[in-house]
Each structure stands twice: as C-alpha cells, then as structure tokens.
Chains A and B, each alone.
Chain A
Amino acid sequence: DQQVKQNSPSLSVQEGRISILNCDYTNSMFDYFLWYKKYPAEGPTFLISISSIKDKNEDGRFTVFLNKSAKHLSLHIVPSQPGDSAVYFCAASANSGGGADGLTFGKGTHLIIQP
C-alpha cells in the first residue's frame, strides 16, 4: 500500500521552461511534506518543504504547492537548468505525536532537462 505516489517515473523538460513534478498521498495524518533531489550514487539532498498549514512555499527557483483537499502537492522549478537533471523524491511525515518519525517516500521522478 503506497501512501505517497509519484505517478510519473520520468519527465523531460526543455532548458529554461517550467518543470512540474507531482505527488499524491493517501494518509490524512501526513502534515509535513518535503522534496528531495538525488543524483546517482549520492544520498538524497533536501530541497524544499511545506507544512500542512500552508498552501505554498517558495525558495528561489523552487515552489511547492499543497492542495490538502485533493491530497496533492507539486514542485515547480522555473526556469529549469541542466543541473536540475536528477531524481526527485516526494516525502511525507505524520505528526510526531501520532505517527512514526520516519519519512514516507514516493518512488521518485527522473527529471531530464534537455538543452
């Protein structure tokens, strides 16, 4: 039972355009969401996060949107750059008082930025 789903295994975007990566979740206990970026043979690197009390968080070229009613979040990267080519993982966490402390990850989306 996958509680965090990234339905697109890969996404190809032209350099300079907007990249939109999507993530859906099923567990209504999740109240904190994170995006990680991962290069081959390296560990995931934290990118941006959002609490369930917000619907948008922005950090430079990266913006995360959260739609709680739809249990959906998305990561927007604009403009996309060649160095953005990587696997992006969506992760979720439940309230520490009511759930495990470990993160629940999606399977990842491989973003390819084409010149």
Chain B
Amino acid sequence: NAGVMQNPRHLVRRRGQEARLRCSPMKGHSHVYWYRQLPEEGLKFMVYLQKENIIDESGMPKERFSAEFPKEGPSILRIQQVVRGDSAAYFCASSQYRGPADTQYFGPGTRLTVL
C-alpha cells in the first residue's frame, strides 16, 4: 500500500527556469494539498485540489505559481521563472475525504534549490 509519492526528491534550477513538481496521492485518495516550507519555518498551505478542480488556492502566490490535478496522472505544482526565494521544501499531502475530521498524509517532499 504505497503512500504519497513525490518526484523528484531534489530539483535544482537556475533563476528564470521552470520547476515542475509531481505528486501521486495515496490509493483511494482524491484530495491533494500542497504546502511549502521555507528554511526555519513551518509548513504553509498553498493550494487544495480535487480531480480536475482547484478548491482553494488562497495560499498560492499570485504570480508564477500554478497547480493542477488532472483526471489521469499526478498532481503538478508548476513554478515559472523561478527566483532564489522559491528555494524551499514542497510537500504534497492527500486525504480520502474533505474536511478537518480526516488527516492528511504527507509525501517525502521535493527540495527545490534555485541557483
């Protein structure tokens, strides 16, 4: 029973390049959440998606960041024209149901380094 999978685990990009982070939820989970952890900080919620729908993107930066969760395949967090301040650990979590009563299961994260 595989857990939440994220790839790549480490990603290095130069300023101005694009970064694509992938997340495959646990089997049977249709809710995906993305979080970002800056150095010495806690995790910050970015976006919540269900299949083919963005439910809540209140934590997403207004520019350069986008997320999708297509009908088939993993969820993708895309960062265009990366800057040094985007260097962080990006965690994906999934849940079976919506709402606070369920827990979110986290993947191992993608560590993005922008040179």
Chain A residues close to B by CB (< 8 Å): 4, 6, 31-32, 34, 36, 41-46, 49, 51, 89, 91, 93-96, 100-108
Instruction: State whether B100 touches A95 (Cβ < 8 A).
Output: yes
CB B77 to nearest CB in A, in angstroms, measures: 14
How far does the alpha carbon of A103 sit from the alpha carbon of B43 in the complex, in Å?
9
**Could you jot down 9 A-B contacts, CB within 8 Å?**
A43-B91, A43-B93, A43-B106, A44-B91, A94-B100, A103-B35, A103-B43, A107-B42, A108-B42
Smallest CB–CB gap between B97 and chain A, Å? Answer: 10
Taking the closest CB of chain A, its distance from the CB of B104, in whole angstroms, is 7
Whole-angstrom distance between the Cβ of A68 and the nearest chain B Cβ: 15
Taking a contact as CB atoms closer than 8 A, the residue among A31, A91, A101, A103 that contacts B98 in the complex is A101
Residue of B nearest to A96 (CB): B99
Which 4 residue pairs spanning A and B have beta carbons closest together? A102-B45, A43-B106, A93-B100, A32-B100
Query: Are B103 and A49 within 8 A (Cβ)?
Result: yes
Q: Is B74 an interface residue (CB 8 A)?
A: no
CB distance from A29 to the nearest CB of B (A): 11
B55 in contact (CB, < 8 A): yes
Chain A residues within an 8 Å CB radius of B4: 43
Q: A42-B109, A43-B109, A96-B99 are in contact. Are A4 and B42 (CB under 8 A)?
A: yes
A46–B103 CB distance below 8 A: yes
Q: Are B55 and A105 in contact (CB-based, < 8 A)?
A: no
Max chain A Cβ within 10 angstroms of own Cβ: one of B44, B100, B104, B105: B100
Residues of B within 8 A of A102 (CB): 33, 35, 45-48, 56, 58-59
Residues on B with beta carbons closer than 8 Å to the beta carbon of A108:
42
